Amino acid sequence: MKFAGPIINSVGWPLVTLFTLCVAASMAELASAYPTAGGLYYWAYRLGGTRWAWVTAWFNMIGQITITAGIDIAAAIYIVGFLSNLLGIPPDAPVPVFGTVSSWGFYVFVMVLIMIPQVLINIFGIRLTALLSDFSVYWHIAGVFIIAGLLTFLGKVHQPLSFLFSFVNTVNPLDASSAPLPDGTVGPALVIGPWTFPSPLFALIPALKEIYRAAPFLLVFALGLLQAQWTYTGYDASAHMAEETIMARLNSAWGVFLSVAVSGVVGYIVLMALTAAIPDIPGTVNDPYPVLYIVRQNLAPFFANLIGLIIAGAMWLCGLSSITSMSRMWFAFARDGGMPGYSLIRRIHPRLRTPVWSILITSMLAVLLTIYSAAYYVVTAISTITLYLAYGLPTYLNLRNKLRKRGEYTTPQNAPWNLGALGPWINGIAIAWIAFITILFCLPPNELTLWTILGLGVVMVLYWQLDAKRRFTGPTPLSEEELRRIEAELEAMARGRPAYQQGGE
């Protein structure tokens, strides 16, 4: 909103939705062909071999960590804002150790507090986790219609249609990419945690400074697409849970695709309701908690607080599900010895039957990444790029094999959920879109993302050459017989009988 105004919601959301549906459809087809835990990297292994699988898994690993970090730091920021408004605490109120209520350190502290129950439920409550995941769907959808209904029928502000499609640049992208430098000046900067350095990218490309100062529409509109694109991440969760899904070849695929399709509709409803209720753009974008600002300006305190609770609950439930997906993906990769510490991460608790160490280690890494990034939009940019690279690699391999008519690729025979003749075209659009957003979201003010991705690439190359290539042999495939056994156990659990026999996997 700071970059482009209301048009980033009215046009940006459906634009991103359209291209993301191409990515989701390409992934759903693969999920139908290969319904196995580890999802993406198992697909890459079958389609391209060990090295492709390993690279895909690493991008997915980092993406799963950063998406969880982004969800829970966003929840922390929001919950701090909600409680501050409820209790009348100003954003600059002092807090021992952390500085102020709205400081990044305090947000990270609150993030840890809200993650503790998420972690404990994932460790001790395998059935409760499943129930809350189902409940989350109803909470989100019902919440959307409550929010939209209250703002539409009881809200004080109803902006005209022209407002929804208006372009307003409130914050110059050069200013958003700048910070106080060690020499006392203010300029384009690279911020890493508490440290600030002159921007290497602006030094390498001097013309970038003038382009950013001019703030052309295409630049600021494109940068603003991160809002929608980051929302559409994590929909590979259905693929990671394939081994625990009944009729996985169809249901995992539909889970991937419908995650995006349903979010596209209900997300647009609530986004338009909020946009139409904006009382004034400067006041909204300059408030530390803009959604809360909108509902407070529109509704009586009771209804404003009701919306606050709905959104806080939705964000917490989303974080809970993200930890589930993240820990399962890391467990699957550790099971095959693909990362340092794999012997610990792949352990299953003998009584709880959950990957305890995977849950604990990944959750701690999510917190550490949040401290490193020191900005919400950097976390979201890193998670978006790494996850979409993981989405794009098996999609590319599938398309490559289809066009060559060599190796494995999806067909109506091996993938009941199939795109048919449109498959290659949809795959191609998905790959082009992923390439575009990878470049786009590395641009300032997300410059730390660029150097983080490049640094990650160097670490991956070194680790592969020095260790992994001599030891990693690829994922352990799940046999069709094993898949049927797990489905039978899940059906037994649904009827009230034990899902796992004593001593079983």
Q: pLDDT for 29-88, tens place per residue? A: 998 888 776 578 888 999 999 999 999 989 988 888 988 998 999 999 999 999 988 888
Write out pLDDT tens, residues 190-228. 988 778 999 999 999 999 999 999 999 999 999 999 989
Q: At what angle do helices 12-33 and 40-48 cross, to 10 degrees?
A: 60
Among the listed residues 77, 150, 145, the one whose alpha carbon sits nearest the alpha carbon of residue 316:
77
Q: Going edge to edge, which strands form the sheet with 178-180?
A: 178-180, 186-192, 195-198
Pairing of strands 94-95, 186-192: unpaired
Q: Contact at 8 Å (CB) between 437 and 384?
A: yes
The mean pLDDT of 464-484, rounded to a whole number, is 70
Question: What's the burial of 330, exposed, middle or buried (CB within 10 Å: 0-12/13-18/19+)?
Answer: buried
What value does the mean pLDDT of the chain take?
87
How high is the pLDDT of residue 440? 93
- d(Cα 43, Cα 363) in Å, to the nearest integer? 25
How high is the pLDDT of residue 327? 87
**Element containing residue 188 per DSSP (H, E):** strand 186-192
How high is the pLDDT of residue 276? 96
How high is the pLDDT of residue 278? 97
How high is the pLDDT of residue 125? 79
Walk me through the domains of the chain, giving residue ranges and CATH numbers: 7-172+215-494 (1.20.1740.10)
pTM of the model: 0.85
pLDDT surpasses 60 at 495: no
How high is the pLDDT of residue 375? 66
How high is the pLDDT of residue 107? 92
With b meaning 16 or more CB within 10 Å and e meaning fewer, what string describes 378-404? bbbbbbbbbbbbbbbbbbbbbbbbbee
**Element containing residue 116 per DSSP (H, E):** helix 104-124
pLDDT confidence bin for 376, thresholds 50/70/90: confident
How high is the pLDDT of residue 282? 92
How high is the pLDDT of residue 289? 86
The mean pLDDT of 297-315, rounded to a whole number, is 94
- d(Cα 115, Cα 107) in Å, to the nearest integer? 12
How high is the pLDDT of residue 374? 64
> What Cα–Cα distance (Å) separates residue 254 from each residue in 26, 31, 187, 237, 416?
12, 9, 48, 12, 11
Query: CB within 8 A of 164, min separation 6: which ones?
Result: 6, 7, 9, 10, 272, 275, 276
Q: Contact at 8 Å (CB) between 270 and 148?
A: yes
pLDDT surpasses 70 at 246: no
Among the listed residues 443, 329, 334, the one whose alpha carbon sits nearest the alpha carbon of residue 63:
329
With b meaning 16 or more CB within 10 Å and e meaning fewer, what string describes 87-120? eeeeeeeeeeebeebbbbebbbbbbbebbeebbe
How high is the pLDDT of residue 206? 93
How high is the pLDDT of residue 329? 79
pLDDT surpasses 50 at 498: no
Share of the chain above pLDDT 90, in %: 55
- d(Cα 9, Cα 132) in Å, to the nearest integer? 29
pLDDT surpasses 90 at 141: no
The mean pLDDT of 298-304, rounded to a whole number, is 95
Question: What's the burial of 268, exposed, middle or buried (CB within 10 Å: 0-12/13-18/19+)?
Answer: middle
Whether a cis peptide bond, with omega within 30° of 0, leads into 412 is no
HSE-up of residue 297 (Cα within 13 Å, Cβ side): 19
Q: Contact at 8 Å (CB) between 32 and 250?
A: yes
How high is the pLDDT of residue 472? 83
pLDDT surpasses 80 at 309: yes
Concatenating the DSSP letter of every residue in 97-115 gives TTEETTSHHHHHHHHHHHH
Write out pLDDT tens, residues 356-366. 899 999 999 99
Structure tokens that stand for 109 in this block:
């502290």
How high is the pLDDT of residue 484? 52
Q: Contact at 8 Å (CB) between 107 and 83?
A: no
- d(Cα 103, Cα 265) in Å, to the nearest integer? 34
Write out pLDDT tens, residues 143-183. 989 999 999 999 999 999 999 999 999 999 999 999 999 88
What does the angle CA 261 – CA 440 – CA 363 come to, to the nearest 5 degrees?
A: 65
How high is the pLDDT of residue 88? 87
Among the listed residues 212, 160, 229, 223, the one whose alpha carbon sits nearest the alpha carbon of residue 380:
229
How high is the pLDDT of residue 343? 84
Pairing of strands 195-198, 178-180: unpaired
3-state helix, strand, coil in the chain (%, to 5): 70, 5, 25
With b meaning 16 or more CB within 10 Å and e meaning fewer, what string describes 202-226? beeeeebbeebeebeeebbbbbbbb
